[in-house]
């Protein structure tokens, strides 16, 4: 019996074969055309690997361009296994990528974006989430307190968890837009970004306007 392929290498990256199960039936997927082979690798797995097996199969993650959670299935069906393995591989110096069909929230029946981002960000930026909850409160009242919006940074990248509603997403993005250039300066360690901070000068923040009453 052949040994199941848990990891395989493509274009300088190591791919991890998480699951064969999927939520879609894509015409281009080889398993629906009678073969489970990709670039010579047989990706049929009789048993799904656990986090420890995925970590071991990744080897030294720092020697690859990326560690990619993929295979011929939908990795977010095993979200918490992926998050556990991904966090450890990042700790070991790897750059991690998740190939997904984007249906994790539908699969799990709830918004799993916050815990997914928790596994990625290195430092929280609480102000964005607090602002989003305040804006939501103007629209939906006390239910806004249940929001789990997570925002933060990884390296020099700002990661913002916007709401799922297209309307709320656009409104929140428009609200934070004025702060983004300064945030990018800070992340890029631009000395000009700190100008005035050490002299007790406050940043100029425009007044918040209640979208329903027009009052500040």
CA distance 20 to 154: 30
Q: Which residues lie below 8 Å from residue 23, measured CB to CB, with a gap of 6+?
A: 74, 77, 101, 103, 106, 107
CA distance 207 to 216: 6
Q: Residue 75, exposed/middle/buried by CB under 10 A (0-12, 13-18, 19+)?
A: buried
Distance, C-alpha 94 to centroid of its chain:
15
User: Is residue 102 helix, strand or coil?
Assistant: coil
Query: What DSSP state is assigned to residue 62?
Result: G
> What is the domain partition of the chain in residue ranges?
7-112, 123-199
Local confidence band at 193 (pLDDT 50, 70, 90 cut-offs): low
pTM as predicted: 0.68
Local confidence band at 192 (pLDDT 50, 70, 90 cut-offs): low
Query: What pLDDT is attached to residue 194?
Result: 53
Query: What pLDDT is attached to residue 9?
Result: 95
Determine contact, residues 104/117, Cβ cutoff 8 Å: no
Query: What DSSP state is assigned to residue 37?
Result: E
Q: Mean of the per-residue pLDDT values for the chain?
A: 82
User: Is residue 67 helix, strand or coil?
Assistant: strand
For 109-166, write each residue's pLDDT tens digit. Answer: 887 878 877 777 888 888 888 888 888 888 888 877 778 888 888 888 888 888 777 8
Q: Which of the following CATH numbers is that of domain 123-199: 3.20.20.60, 3.20.20.80, 3.40.50.300, 3.40.980.10?
A: 3.40.980.10
Q: Which residues lie below 8 Å from residue 164, measured CB to CB, with a gap of 6+?
A: 105, 111
CA distance 77 to 99: 12
For 7-48, write each residue's pLDDT tens digit. Answer: 999 999 999 999 998 888 888 888 888 888 888 898 888 899
* Helix segments in the chain, DSSP class H: 51-58, 79-91, 104-108, 113-118, 126-140, 166-176, 180-187
């Amino acid at each position: 019996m052949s040994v199941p392929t848990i990891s395989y290498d493509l274009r300088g990256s190591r791919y991890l074969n998480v699951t064969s199960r999927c939520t879609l039936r894509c015409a281009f997927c080889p398993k629906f055309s009678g073969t489970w082979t990709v670039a010579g690798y047989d990706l049929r797995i009789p048993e799904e690997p656990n986090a420890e097996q995925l970590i071991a199969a990744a080897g030294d993650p720092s020697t690859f361009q990326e560690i990619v959670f993929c295979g011929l299935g939908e990795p977010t069906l095993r979200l918490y296994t992926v998050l556990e393995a991904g966090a450890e591989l990042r700790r070991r110096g790897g750059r991690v990528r998740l190939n997904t069909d984007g249906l994790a929230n539908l699969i799990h029946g709830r918004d799993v974006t916050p815990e997914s981002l928790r596994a990625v960000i290195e430092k929280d930026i609480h102000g964005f989430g607090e602002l989003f909850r305040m804006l939501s409160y103007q629209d939906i009242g006390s239910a806004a307190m249940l929001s789990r919006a997570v925002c933060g940074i990884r390296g020099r990248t700002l990661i913002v968890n916007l709401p799922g509603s297209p309307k709320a997403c656009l409104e929140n993005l428009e609200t934070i837009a004025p702060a983004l250039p300064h945030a990018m300066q800070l992340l890029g360690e631009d000395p000009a970004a700190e100008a005035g901070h050490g002299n007790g000068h406050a940043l100029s923040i425009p007044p918040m306007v209640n979208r329903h009453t027009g009052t500040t």
